[in-house]
Structures are given as structure tokens and as C-alpha cells.
Amino acid sequence: MNPAYLYRELKQVSAAGRVLILNGFSFNLGFYMLLPFLADHLQRNLGLSPWHVGLVIGLRVLSQQGLFLVGGTLGDYLGYKRLILLGCLVRIAGFLLLAVAGQFVFLLLGAFLTGFAGALFTPSSNAYLAHEAPDAERRDRIFALQNWSSEAGMFMGPLVGVALLSLDFFWVGLAAAGLFALLLLIQWAYLPELTSQQKRQAGEPFWRQWLRMLQNRSFIGFVTFACGFHLFFHQLYLSLPHEVEARGLGAEVITLVFMISSVLGIFLQMPVNRFVPSWIGRSRTMGLGLLLMGSSFLWFTQVFSFDPRLSFIGFAVTFSLGSMLVMPLLASSVPRFCDKSELGSYYGFYSCIGGVAAFLGHLLIGGLLSVPELNTDLIWLGLAITGFVAATGLYYRIRWADQMAPVS
């Protein structure tokens, strides 16, 4: 990463855009302080079965991405800043509950609140950021900057989390909640209202707008294959901790995976986004990214006796490269399918369908991991095949869309 290039890129972004980009660091710092260790805490400290762990983690995913449509639509009607602030407040409550809960029902409630918070602030944050980019090329670059900032937070979060974990999981949850309390104050004070937002009026029922989205065939095709990204990404919170536990390794291996992924993102995200799409095209870049993410799970079929961590290092590198290729382009592609006044709803619907896919994946894979006699290599092979199918479908969908109309 060239600091001078990064500085020039940030200078071209508006003040509000810079706040949102840098907030990506803070949001991920608080998030990854806790979430990578939650499954390990539930299984090792509270003694929950893999299926119950999958249900808790899956509910967090479902309540976040499954309710993104609600949060995004509320942002279109009430204003993006207001929803960002409300989301921070709800996540504080969710993290505090996860920190102290010992009973299953309260763990479910904490997971729900933690996820619902993301459903409130993430679509509005993305929609606000998209408003700051006048064209597709600028959107690609501004979302790459956001992803870079998020990777830095993803790098620091597990380091802080594992340090607090040496004391107790309670301190992990408390610190994460405290960080979001600070963010709530910062957002309220320094994030300006989006004066260019054309808020939708309450005259039209929500369901009519949602029905139009369902009838947007190009958008639905894009969302369907993009579900692969959400399915793979959220396995970092189920399959990765389970495989670490199954091999008798400690939580520091989870930290190692997130550190490697984050360091690669910090140093390679901007160069990758700058050169790869212009070299092989957007559609090939996105397809290759999904293919790498799915195939990264094949590393779990390998055991290196001289250093058991090597398979997890290989997984981290492959997964991170795939994520860097596909994630910013997915986010920057959504505005091409809708009117600017509907950005929150479209971002919400995109993530909502991805959340349902991730939730079903958690239930299915969590159930399969609970079957002692099942060879887990079959699970990892199935994820790799899913990656190939999703990558192929996304490649052809984006290529077809680019041929039908210019990217805007």
C-alpha cells in the first residue's frame, strides 16, 4: 500500500465520505473484538452443542441481513444519519447482553439485537456513501477505500479481543459495547445530514416498492449469485472455530486467520481494486473472487503434522484474496439497478437475501458438523462446488448486464 496514493484517494472523497470510510475501521474494530470468539465462548465456556452454536450465530446473521430490507427502507424514508445512530444504540444493547448472558434464550436475544443493529446502520451507511460517488468508477474506488478501512479494523479487533479474552469474555463484550457508545457520540457530532438525499414520501406503501424490486429481473439475478459471498463470509464464525476446536487448537489460531486476512487487505485491497478489474474486467474479477472464497475451504481437508496452523494460513490467504476481489465490486454494483431515492431499500434487499442464505447455511452446516460419523471433508468439498456455481453465475450475469447497458 502506497501511503501517498491512499492520501490522494481520500482527498478526493467528501468530508462525509471520509467519516464513513474511517467509521468502517471503528465498526469492525468493535465487531471483530467479539464475534470471532463468540462461537468458541458458546462451545468451550458455556458447553453448547455445534447445532445450538450455529443457531445463535445464524440468528445474528438472519436478524442483521434478513432485516436489512426493513432498515434500508426506513433509511430511505427517515434519513440515513438517523438510522446509523439508532443502529449504534441497538448494538450497544446487544453486545452488553452477550457479555453477561448465560442462558440460551438471552444469548438468542443478544444475537438478535446485535444483528438487528447492523440491519439499521449498514444499508444507510452504504447508501450515504453511494451518494458521495457520481459514477461507477468512483463508486468502485470509494467502496474499495471503505473495504480497506474495514480490513484495518478487522485486523485490530481480534488482537484487542484476544487480549481481553485472557481476562474473561465479559470484558470483551463490555469493551465492544463501550466502543459503539463512543461511535454513537462521534456520529451524532461529526456526520452531517445528507442534504442531497431525496427522502421518499409516506404516500406509497412499502410493499409496492418491494414488489417492484422483486420484478427487477436483472437485480434479482445479481443478488441470487451474490449470495455465495454472504454464505462463505459468515462461515468464518462457524466452520472456522469448529475446525480449530476439532483439531485441538486454541483461539489464537482464529486470531491468526483474521490477522492474516486483515494484513493482506490493508496492503493489497487498493492495488487489487485499481489494477485487476481494468486488467481482466469486472465480471471476471467478481467471478474469480467467489471461486477463491469457495475453494479456500478445501484447505480444511489438509493436515500438516509438522505445523497444524498451515492449513489455516492457506485458508486465510485464499479466502482474503477472493474477498478483496469481489466485495467492493458487489457493493458498488447495487446503485446501477435502482433510482437514487431507493438506494437504502436496494442495499437492504441485497443484504437481506444474502442473510437468508447465510442463515440457512449456518443451520445446514451446523447440523452436519453435529453428526460425529460424517466426514467433514465432504462439507468443505460442497462449499468449494458452491463457490464454482456462484462464481460462474455471477460472471455471466454481470457480463450480460454490461452488454445490455453501460455501467452507471
pLDDT at residue 225 in the model: 94
Q: 10-residue block means of pLDDT along the chain (408 residues)? A: 66 77 83 78 79 81 78 85 92 90 86 90 85 71 80 80 79 88 86 69 66 85 92 89 88 84 83 86 92 96 90 96 90 78 82 83 88 90 96 89 58
pLDDT at residue 408 in the model: 46
pLDDT at residue 200 in the model: 61
pLDDT at residue 317 in the model: 96
Query: Distance (Å, rounded) from C-alpha 400 to C-alpha 328?
Result: 20
pLDDT at residue 197 in the model: 60
12-194+202-404 CATH: 1.20.1250.20
- Three-state secondary structure along 127-182? HHHHHCCCCHHHHHHHHHHHHHHHHHHHHHHHHHHHHHHCCCHHHHHHHHHHHHHH
Give the ranges where 215-281 is alpha helix by DSSP (H): 217-233, 239-246, 251-280
pLDDT at residue 203 in the model: 60
pLDDT at residue 26 in the model: 83
pLDDT at residue 407 in the model: 46
How many CB atoms are closer than 10 A to CB 85? 19
Query: Distance (Å, rounded) from C-alpha 235 to C-alpha 360?
Result: 11
Residue listed under C-alpha cell 437514487: 340
For residues 137-170, one letter each, b for 16 or more C-beta atoms within 10 angstroms of the residue's C-beta and e for the rest, the string is ebbbbbbbbbbbbbbbbbbbbbbbbbebbeeebe
Quick check: 370 and 49 in contact, CB under 8 A?
A: yes
Query: Distance (Å, rounded) from C-alpha 340 to C-alpha 135?
Result: 12
Residue listed under C-alpha cell 465487531: 31
pLDDT at residue 121 in the model: 87
**pTM for this prediction:** 0.74
pLDDT at residue 113 in the model: 93
Query: Distance (Å, rounded) from C-alpha 247 to C-alpha 42?
Result: 17
Cell numbers found for residue 331: 457493493
Residue extents of the structural domains in the chain: 12-194+202-404
Torsion of CA 235, 236, 237, 239, to 10 degrees: 60
> Which of the 8 DSSP states describes residue 297?
G
* DSSP string computed for 333-392: HGGGGS-GGGHHHHHHHHHHHHHHHHHHHHHHHHHHHT-TTS-THHHHHHHHHHHHHHHH
pLDDT at residue 7 in the model: 66
Tell me the helices (H) and strands (E) count for the chain, helix number first: 16, 0
Length of the chain: 408
